Chains A and B, each alone.
Chain A
Amino acid sequence: MSRYSIFSLARNALTGHRNWPKAWRSPNPKPAYDVIIIGGGGHGLATAYYLAKNHGVTNIAVLEKGWLGGGNTGRNTTIVRSNYALPGNTLFYEHSLKLWEGLSQDLNFNVMFSQRGVINLAHSDGQRDAYKRRGNVMRINGIDAEYLDRDEVADMVPLLDTSPDARYPVKGGLLQPRAGTARHDAVAWGYARSADSYGVDIIQNCEVTGIDIENGRAVGVQTTRGAIKAAKIGTAVAGHTGHLGAMAGLRLPFETHVLQAMVSEPLKPCLDMVVTSGVAHAYISQSDKGELVFGGDLDFYPTYAQRGNFPRIEEVVETMLTMFPTFSRVRLMRSWGGVIDMTMDGSPIICKTPIDGFYIDGGWCYGGFKATPGSGWVFAHTIANDQPHELNERFTLKRFETGAVIDERGAGATAHAH
């Protein structure tokens, strides 16, 4: 892999940038691999990378039905954080955040991880206490967290309406200073380039159409580019996990929903933090390009369509303007939707399945992007060792049977409630 640096940029400038190599190869699929990862998004590519880097498994194909990073990796609001309160989540997301902290250097690809801080606003005494409760879990587990009072929030986010006579006055907020945002596409590309350098075959425009199972064991896949054999098969296909599971004869506890996100026109810097509201569901930040990036709830009907409808956009904008009233004359530039697999407790599933050699990584609900490095790291471990790492041993399918759910919102077994 040719290293990227200011020096390599300068050197290539002399030759008019004509000699940059391809970031990754475009090989044809081989007849067989040790491991097939279905899904060339952030999670799948990260899994391939960590399989190669941490476990020495390099005879891998990553199969992507469209283009790399074309699913939720390229459709999210780029927020990265580890402010979770329940065992199973807390340390997993923190491990992921630690991987983010060295990711640009590790991949030699600038993923622009920007630790500008995430604030969850509290609007009532109950929310204040709940955020303190969460912040304390984080601190006790070695994760940074601070509780800010109203004035401290106002100082950090000057355009936020913190007036006491607001419809839902801001009482304070939970700040995670190390949280922030990253350049989403770069994550997929960075992992792809590094995985490729270990010899991983990244195969785009190759849709999996079937899973071959013999004697209760997964042995290969059928694709639009022919059959491919493999000893182990992992899927990381976000909104289509249920669909992939069905190919293997598994009925998985997911509901697929559309989640929209949107950006404003680019503006000079006016919002330094990621801010989320505790009243209505909304989260907002400003990208390096200057766009305000924001989103909210699901559209609330199950669908595979990567497009939503207008009522949700109205609601998100209403919330956003209630938080930041001076953005009223700013314009919405673009909106889009991604399909996400919602689980019955809002937490992911990363585990072995009843079929030997078939592993799933899915159920990311609203929050898969931040988990990308951690997800790949533990999924690689799970595939390589045929058993979970301590960090993902609670993310099982079994937990819905036993009741050991990881329900941060306490919303119960209704997929869209999380």
Chain B
Amino acid sequence: MTGQVFRNGAGGRIDRTVPLSFTFDGKNYQGFQGDTLASALLANGVRVVGRSFKYHRPRGILGAGFEEPNALVQLGDGARTEPNTQATRVELFDGLTATSQNRWPSLQFDISAINGLFHRLLPAGFYYKTFMAPANLWMTYEKIIRRAAGMGRAPTQMDPDIYARRFAHCNVLVIGGGPAGVSAALAAGQSGARVILAEDNPQLSVSETELADMDNVTVLTRTMAAAYYDHNTLILSERIADHKPAPAPFETRQRMWKVRAQQVVLATGALERPLVFPNNDRPGVMLASAAQCYAADFAVRAGNQAVVFTNNDSAYGAARDMKAAGIDIAAIIDTRPEISDSTRELATNTKVLTGHAIIDVASGRGGATRGVTLKAIHPDTGAPKGSPIDIACDVVAMSGGWNPTIHLFSQSKGKIKYDGARAAFVPGQSFQQERSIGAANGTFDHEACIIEGHNAGAAAARDVGFDAPDARTSPSGIPPAAQPLWSAPTGAKRFVDFQNDVTADDIGLAYREGYQSVEHLKRYTTLGMGTDQGRTSNVNGLAIMADHRRLDIPEVGTTTFRPPFSPITLGGIAGWHTGQNFEATRQSAMSAWHEAQGATFSNAGLWRRPEYYPRTGMTPAEAVHHEARHVREKVGVVDVSTLGKIDVQGRDALEFLSRVYINNLTKLPVGKCRYGVMLREDGFVFDDGTITRLAEMRFLVTTTTTHAGPVMTHLEYLAQVQWPELDVHLLSVSEDWAGIAIAGPNSRTLLSQLFQDVDFANEAFPFMGYRETNAGGVPVRLFRISFSGEHAYELNVPADYGLNFWTALLETGADLDVIPYGTEAMNILRIEKGHVTGAELNGRVTADDLGFAGMMSKLKPFVGQVLARRDALTAKGRRQLVGLVPADGETPIPAGAQILADPDAPPPEFTPAAILGEVTSNCYSPALGHPIGLGLVEDGSDRHGDTLYAHSPITSETVAITLTNPVFVDPAGGRLHG
């Protein structure tokens, strides 16, 4: 079956030897290699391709490229489905499926077209004026509105395709592979400059073998320049596999290029403007340039009989090409009272009606165009006069003049200006190292474009030091004479924004109601807010507003063009960096071992940490309690590799750390550790950890896992910016050393067996002592420090040996009944000991709040010291760290509970509820045999023994609690020191 009744037997850039099958709305059609979906649909005589957003009017193909507002389809199905795809930019492939959008149950019969009947009730912004009563019904109204809105459907399956990113640098980046762009790339390339030329189409519009032969020129086709950012950074979106049914295995679907260019040449062309006249949205009404493109490039007749409607000369060329393709040109309707002889010559043997305008478009079956009605118009006012003339046609090819594609120029922060002769906005002053050329610059003459391109490419190369060819002289460019007619006489709906159903009357309403600024107009009427970003509506819309306001167009201004130029996939932006690759996963040297033991994991920053090791016959909670109890009774080992570690060296290392920590460190000898706290500049606690003096001028400091990065940044800032005079050098060594804590009464025996050359006697290696040894040549650092409150050590070995030492500890300690424990048990042990961590170090506590006041040295200045003296940080009533136990000795303390004296107090109006504090940590204590917790409570240090309530309405729990000393286990510290 050859249903391509509108396809000519010869001509065009299609390959008739490769027929392709595709479906639209489930119906089978044929096209050829080289077609777009739009050209293939037209070849098959498909006129109606979608329904409009608001009135659900039938719509046909308006354009042939980026400008298309109507022909948006749901491409493909299943996991590869893609909503809102412009049919004019989809390359046809065999087996392509496409479905129309925004209609139900079918394109031909759409229930919501009933909106058209009520259109009088639905002017621009109608929703701001209604749906307000009764107030509680808005959510119901909204549900209906939401269902009616939207366009295509989001995929609900995982995207099977892969996306890539690439960085590139070049001397000259040329955007646009038309005559001007190719000419610019050629001139720049000839100079030896590194050039990238990006073109959205599958091929350059001029075949240029010389360009392809240049090693210093990269030509990217199927590549759209999406955005122009600071420092001449442009984002290009390359479609590698979208012209195929699916990417080949492991083939990238789209690649996003981030290009830093020394010079940019914008040769982005121009887009034709529609004319605004009654029923100008009927399927069959299209841009003259589109009808011309379909005829010339695809050998497709947009219809059998066309009326060309124009206000400028360019449509005469379109008429000539359409006629050559076999379309009967019933008439050219020109709004201008007179045209030049040369223009008239272009239309020999064609009826030309000057000084006329279309005042209505009649529709036939399915809403498609079947004729137009014209009238003569007054040369000055544009008012229709005389008797109407009917002309039968199935195509109206319209041209309202041309808009240079200045989007990227505007994104670059270049200043645009209005050019009255061209009746268009054109690039003005550049802001970055950029040149706009060709039609993008308002130059519409072919020969002039090539020369302008050559000169710009050469100049760009010269500006960055290349020896480029000389400039050529351009013929004096004469803009096509356009007499703008922004909106034809009133009548039925005259659409300005096709996608969002904004009419000339809507703009009139916005004007009358005072939404007169361009931005108000846009936001009130939704003009230009669609996926086409107002490419066909923007200038017409603001011209109509200017007319209402009796201002010139430049006085009304224009809206900001925002990136991306045309929508780009989110997958393409994210590249590989999603899912598991969203952020790097940091594993300790022992991770695989934990995994093999069946440990569950939690995330701490980028790290994964084992929570506990399951035990047969035990619930998770029992296993955790077993681990904690075992550490207190025997010995356990825990992976603490994730702690931040910073090597601090230099003659002034001690001075530096003295200024950073609140502690007095001057008496810290080599071979000793100290617990340290640092404040932020604002006097609140920043982080805690240990400081170990490895040598006279060398310290190792540890940080919490989550603050490792921020602390390092903080220290670097202080060293580099605040105290550059100090001789101190910082190196993050968190990942160089694996860390293992060995805790419990048997820890000393265990380590003695493993490191027989180290004297572990209390006097030789006391609490807060530090020793170095080596095992088989591997350096080992031993710290006698304890997070659990037990007799304990931490061991650091180079990360590569972490697993060896981990397993050696477990094997050596088998007789001592050593077990591994995870973060859950570690958390219980530290709560039992009253040690603080994340929830207590919440960024709002002072050292005093946590009971560290005594550590604050009065003998030296340190970061945060001054601001820590502020009233609000020292006043009574601050929340202080306390221990919590349930008053009944058994009810668990709810996590995240607030602490109050009266949980039944009614909610307040303006004065905050009397909340005294909050539960920061909670657990069941195996050592004590009952639940415990830590909290921050107003004047908590003075309230030990008081009973308050841990109130958690969100979990419907309220528990009476007694405040205690936060150190539950071994408050005297005998276990640590023994």
Contacts and interface: CB of A to CB of B under 8 A. Distances in A.
A286 B897 CA distance: 33
Interface residues of A, number: 121
B842 interface: yes
Most buried by A among B120, B163, B227, B520: B520
Contact of A332 (B526, B573, B951): B573
A5 interface: yes
B227 A310 contact: yes
Contacts of B724: none
A364 interface: no
A8 interface: yes
A73 to B, nearest CB: 11
Interface stretch (B344-352, B391-399, B910-918): B910-918
A130 B898 CA distance: 11
A387 interface: no
A17 interface: yes
Interface of A: 4-6, 8-10, 13, 16-18, 20-26, 66-68, 70, 74, 87-88, 90-91, 95, 102, 104-105, 108-110, 112-116, 123-126, 128-137, 139-142, 145-147, 159, 161, 166-168, 183, 185-186, 189-190, 204, 264-270, 280, 286, 288-290, 307, 309-310, 313-314, 317-322, 325-336, 344, 389-391, 399, 401-405, 407, 409-413
A114 B142 contact: yes
Contacts of A411: 843
A331 B567 contact: yes
B142 A91 contact: no
Nearest to B683: A403
A128 B680 contact: no
A314 B573 contact: yes
Given A331-B569, A403-B873, A104 B135 contact: yes
B142 A112 contact: yes
Contacts of B169: none
Contacts of B229: 309-310
B569 A390 contact: no
A402 B571 CA distance: 48
A328 B153 contact: no
Given A9-B129, A402-B871, A410-B842, 7 more contacts: A66-B517, A128-B895, A268-B152, A286-B146, A307-B413, A321-B571, A412-B843
A161 B582 CA distance: 13
A310 B235 contact: yes
Contacts of A129: 839, 895-896
B495 interface: no
A205 to B, nearest CB: 8
Contacts of A321: 570-571, 574, 578-579
A404 B567 CA distance: 46
Contacts of B603: 123-124, 168
B873 to A, nearest CB: 5
A189 B971 CA distance: 64
A124 B824 CA distance: 13
A330 B838 CA distance: 38
Nearest to B864: A412
Given A108-B132, A266-B149, A331-B569, A318 B156 contact: no
A329 B82 contact: yes
B912 A91 contact: yes
Nearest to B135: A105
Nearest to B953: A139
Nearest to A180: B139
B872 A112 contact: no
Give me the 9 closest cross-chain CB pairs, A-B, nearest first.
Answer: A410-B843, A142-B907, A132-B896, A290-B150, A403-B870, A328-B571, A331-B567, A403-B872, A328-B159
Nearest to B919: A133
B145 interface: yes
B191 interface: no
A185 B514 CA distance: 14
B84 interface: yes
Interface of B: 80-84, 120-121, 123, 126-133, 135, 138-139, 142, 145-147, 149-159, 161, 163, 227, 229-230, 233, 235, 258, 413, 505, 509, 512-515, 517, 519-520, 523-524, 526, 530-531, 533, 560, 562-564, 567-571, 573-575, 577-583, 585, 602-604, 680-684, 686, 838-839, 842-844, 867, 870-873, 894-898, 900, 907-913, 915, 918-919, 951-955
28 contacts: A5-B133, A6-B130, A9-B126, A17-B123, A23-B513, A105-B135, A114-B142, A116-B139, A129-B896, A136-B898, A140-B898, A141-B907, A190-B128, A264-B567, A268-B147, A268-B152, A269-B146, A286-B146, A309-B230, A317-B570, A326-B156, A332-B564, A334-B562, A334-B563, A403-B867, A403-B870, A407-B843, A412-B684
B681 A326 contact: no
A336 to B, nearest CB: 5
B905 to A, nearest CB: 8
B562 A336 contact: yes
B36 to A, nearest CB: 18
A318 B895 contact: no
A286 B143 CA distance: 12
Contact of B568 (A112, A331, A403): A331
Given A136-B951, A140-B907, A266 B517 contact: no
Nearest to B526: A289
Contacts of A289: 149-150, 526
Nearest to A268: B150
A140 B918 CA distance: 12
Nearest to A164: B600
Nearest to B908: A141
Given A91-B910, A109-B128, A136-B952, A326 B157 contact: yes
A264 to B, nearest CB: 7
B516 to A, nearest CB: 8
A288 B142 CA distance: 7
Contacts of B581: 167
Contacts of B952: 132, 136
Nearest to A115: B139
A67 B235 contact: no
A137 B912 CA distance: 10
A141 B517 contact: no
Contacts of A322: 578-579, 582
A333 B567 contact: yes
B564 A335 contact: yes
Contacts of B604: 124
A142 B581 CA distance: 41
Contacts of B872: 399, 402-405
Contact of A140 (B155, B560, B684, B913): B913
A413 B843 contact: no
B39 to A, nearest CB: 22
B870 A5 contact: no
Given A267-B150, A402-B872, A13 B121 contact: yes
A132 B954 contact: yes
Contact of A330 (B154, B227, B583, B913): B154
Most buried by A among B132, B567, B579, B870: B132
Contacts of B907: 140-142
B151 A265 contact: yes
A133 B563 CA distance: 40
Given A113-B138, A268-B151, A321-B574, A147 B954 contact: yes
Given A4-B132, A410-B842, A267 B505 contact: no
A141 B142 contact: no
A16 B490 CA distance: 12
B568 A332 contact: yes
A221 to B, nearest CB: 22
B686 A412 contact: yes
Contacts of A137: 898, 913, 915
Given A91-B912, A145-B954, A102 B570 contact: no
A4 B130 contact: yes
B509 A17 contact: yes
A335 B566 CA distance: 11
Contacts of A402: 870-872
Most buried by B among A123, A270, A289: A289
